[in-house]
Structures are given as C-alpha cells and as structure tokens.
Amino acid sequence: MAQAEGYEVHRKWRLAHLKERAAAQKLWRDSHPEVRKARDKKRRLVRVAKKKAWLVEYSKKGCVVCGEARGSCLVFHHVDPDTKGFSVSRLAWGSWGLSKLKAEVAKCVLLCANCHRAFHASEFRSWEEISRYRIAAELVAHLLSIHGAS
C-alpha cells in the first residue's frame, strides 16, 4: 500500500510542476546539443532501415509486366501522375513514417527499368495490354521450362 501512495504523491508532484520540468528539460537540451544530434541521427537511421526493409520485402513481388525481381532493376511507377505526392525513394530516405511510404506505394505499380521505359515510350498503350503481355511472358517461360531453351 505504501508503494501505491508514493506513486500517487509523485504523480501529483509531476502534474503540479509541468512548466518547471519542461523548462529544465529545455535548458538541458540546449546545453547538450551533441547528445540530441546523436540521438536524432540514431532514430533516423533506425526509421530508414525499417522503411528500406519493408521496400525490399515488397519488391520481391517483381515487375508486374515481366516478373523481373532484382531490386536494383525495379522502379515504382505512379499509375495516376495526378495523385503523386512524393517519389518513393524520397519517402524512404526522408523523415516521413512507414505509413506514409505505404500509402504512396499503394498508388504505384512495380516495374523493371526496361518495362518502365517501354511504358513511357508508349510501347504499352494500356494496363490491359500490359496484363496480356504478362500472361504471354509467363506462358513462354513455362514452355521453356518444360521443353528447355534450345
């Protein structure tokens, strides 16, 4: 019972001295900028690492057109350019959170660099045509796996 009473006394004191505590914390932060910079840098690196790990896992799906799955070859293409808020790479390296990154990725399709260039060169006129190409590419790959590439 004594411990609970002690906690209650401490809680009341903290609530009664909010302004003084905030002023003391600000004074300490202002007199120790190197500690704050180091802590902020560590937090930023952890946040970026989490976002990059999520992107690596997401990119294992591969290109929606040809199936290319090497991360170094993949780009996020915004389906509707009018809804583009940020580039995905800017969000990954910036100070924004994972939820904002996921929201931006939801507006995109994953394309390899070649298919992305082909799309912008108007080789594919619609997403339906890309879908037909993907089905044909999967069929060719399946036939090659059965009969071997000669």
Buried b (16+ CB within 10 A) or exposed e, 1-31: eeeeeeeeeeeeeeeeeeeeeeeeeeeeeee
Tell me what pLDDT residue 96 has: 84
Q: Give yes or no for a contact between 61 and 110, defined as CB atoms under 8 angstroms apart.
A: yes
Mean pLDDT by 10 residues, the chain (150 residues): 74 88 91 91 91 91 88 87 83 85 89 84 64 62 58
Tell me what pLDDT residue 150 has: 47
Tell me what pLDDT residue 109 has: 86
Backbone φ and ψ of 52, nearest 5°: -65, -40
Provide the residue ranges of all domains of the chain, joining segments of one domain with +.
1-31, 32-147
